[in-house]
């Protein structure tokens, strides 16, 4: 196992800077997920760690050794790609053994390592087959087995499940997590899928246009998103955002139509009167019983999903703000029905309107 240290990592293509100063200490044995939408720079960061991209500025260290000038083969890492990258003319055994063979490892040691990896991944019965005789999930297991036999210091995964169907992705996700718990090798995993990120990662690095918008555990990122971007990207359906203002006494957020929602402990006196963005997750609404701080939503459409019902509607007489609300179990809502809702003050997320950064409530 080894730790990985990123210090002020920058990457430019010509005059265009695409990665803007990433800093992160990845601990030995940790599973880190780099998460973000297409084009945010997540794969570029992974490729810099692997040595497939030259960093423009900064420092990368693996197991305490700066690797900026080392070739990929000298970094003691193993990488699993999205497209498996198997040799089609070789058997599964030869695919897994090839990297060890070119290092002139003894045949008995090669066979021992391949057999152990095949047992871990439950592909022993496929060792004599060619890749074309395997399913997508089996090919991905072979690709991971080729990395396991190397016994590297760090595993790198570049969206390895993107080519699989939904059911197989769930299965492979569980297998990757089980594999990590057994081998305890430091792992860095790139994905755009928040479900993969939330279920696999010990910590997440959420990327936004080349910046690390937030680094934290899955629950930290979900419960206390650092920016509007992170809040909207994490969670499905995504967080609702409503233009609002902090009341003159700092104890409420005020919405159009005279709606006032109480904050924790009169928590924002220093932001009194400021225009803000109010964020509320769809699952944090409850049907109101005519209490204060009620929000009335006019239903546009309802989707019954079995375990949940999603209601899409708009807020206020002018319908300026659209809301998504998630109710547990099956609820029936007629189109144009007005549903009174409340939300607990602890589930209100307040963001600065200009910077998009989180404004923390003062909790006791």
Angle between helical axes of 166-183 and 107-121 (0-180°, round to 10): 130
What is the C-alpha separation between 180 and 124, in angstroms, rounded?
19
The structure tokens listed for 57 are 């500025």
Alpha-carbon distances, residue 177 vs 118, 144, 154, 199, 334 (angstroms): 17, 12, 15, 8, 43
Backbone dihedral angles phi then psi of residue 113, each to the nearest 5 degrees: -65, -40
What number is the average pLDDT over the span 321-328?
Answer: 90
Pick the CATH number of 4-232 from 3.40.50.1100, 3.40.50.300, 3.40.1390.10, 3.20.20.80: 3.40.50.300
What number is the average pLDDT over the span 264-284?
Answer: 85
User: Is it true that domain 237-359 has CATH number 3.40.50.720?
Assistant: no
pLDDT at 315: 82
CB 124 within 8 A of CB 118: yes
Handedness of CA 63, 21, 213, 208 (dihedral sign): negative
What is the C-alpha separation between 194 and 169, in angstroms, rounded?
13
CA 228 to chain centre: 15
pLDDT at 333: 83
Q: What is the pLDDT of residues 122-143, one digit of tens each?
A: 899 999 999 999 988 889 889 9
Examine the pLDDT at 242 and tell me if it is beyond 60: yes
The structure tokens listed for 269 are 């006196």
What is the C-alpha separation between 91 and 129, in angstroms, rounded?
5
The structure tokens listed for 191 are 């994905």
Residues 6+ apart with CB under 8 A from 189: 31, 32, 33, 34, 156, 157, 160, 176, 196, 200, 201
> Considering the entire predicted model, what is its pTM?
0.90
What is the C-alpha separation between 292 and 16, in angstroms, rounded?
52
Backbone dihedral angles phi then psi of residue 148, each to the nearest 5 degrees: -60, -40
Residues 6+ apart with CB under 8 A from 119: none
pLDDT at 329: 79
> Where are the domains positioned within the chain?
4-232, 237-359
Pairing of strands 203-208, 154-158: unpaired
Residues 6+ apart with CB under 8 A from 212: 22, 23, 24, 205, 206
CB 172 within 8 A of CB 179: no
The structure tokens listed for 74 are 């000298």
Peptide bond into 237 cis (omega under 30): yes
Q: Do 4-232 and 237-359 have matching folds?
A: no
Q: What is the pLDDT of residues 13-61, one digit of tens each?
A: 999 999 999 999 999 999 999 999 999 999 999 999 999 999 999 999 9
Examine the pLDDT at 364 and tell me if it is beyond 50: no
CB 254 within 8 A of CB 247: yes
Examine the pLDDT at 198 and tell me if it is beyond 90: yes
Mean pLDDT (the chain, rounded):
90
First to last CA, the chain: 40
CB 31 within 8 A of CB 181: no
- Which position has the higher pLDDT, 204 or 263? 204
Q: What is the pLDDT of residues 292-308, one digit of tens each?
A: 567 888 899 999 888 89
How many residues make up the chain in this entry?
364
């Amino acid at each position: 196992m080894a730790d990985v240290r990123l210090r002020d990592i920058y990457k430019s293509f010509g005059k265009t800077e695409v990665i803007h100063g990433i800093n992160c200490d990845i601990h030995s044995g940790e599973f880190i997920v780099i998460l973000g939408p297409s084009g945010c720079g997540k794969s570029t960061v992974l490729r810099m760690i692997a040595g497939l991209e030259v960093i423009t500025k900064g420092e990368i260290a693996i197991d305490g050794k700066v690797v900026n000038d080392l070739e990929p083969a000298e970094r003691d890492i193993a990488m699993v790609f999205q497209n498996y990258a198997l040799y089609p003319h070789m058997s599964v055994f030869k695919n897994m053994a090839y990297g060890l063979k070119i290092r002139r490892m003894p045949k008995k040691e090669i066979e021992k390592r391949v057999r152990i990896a095949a047992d871990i991944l439950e592909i022993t019965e496929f060792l004599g087959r060619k890749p074309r005789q395997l399913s997508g999930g089996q090919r991905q297991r072979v690709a991971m087995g080729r990395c396991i036999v190397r016994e590297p210091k760090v595993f790198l995964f570049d969206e390895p499940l993107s080519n699989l169907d939904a059911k197989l992705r769930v299965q492979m996700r569980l297998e990757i997590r089980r594999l990590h718990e057994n081998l305890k090798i430091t792992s860095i995993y790139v994905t755009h899928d928040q479900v993969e990120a939330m279920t696999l990662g010990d910590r997440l690095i959420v990327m936004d246009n080349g910046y690390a918008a937030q680094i934290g555990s899955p629950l930290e990122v979900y419960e206390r998103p650092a920016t509007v971007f992170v809040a909207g990207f994490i969670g499905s359906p995504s967080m609702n955002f409503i233009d609002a203002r902090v009341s003159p006494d700092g104890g409420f957020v005020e919405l159009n139509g005279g709606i006032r929602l109480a904050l924790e402990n009169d928590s924002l006196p220093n932001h009194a009167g400021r225009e803000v963005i109010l964020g509320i997750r769809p699952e944090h609404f409850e049907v109101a019983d005519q209490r204060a701080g009620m929000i009335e939503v006019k239903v546009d459409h309802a989707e019954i999903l079995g375990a949940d019902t999603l209601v899409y509607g708009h807020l206020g007489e002018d319908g300026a703000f659209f809301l998504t609300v998630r109710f547990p179990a099956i609820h029936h809502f007629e189109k144009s029905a007005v549903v009174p809702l409340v939300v607990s003050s602890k589930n209100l997320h307040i963001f600065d309107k200009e910077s998009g950064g989180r404004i923390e409530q003062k909790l006791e």
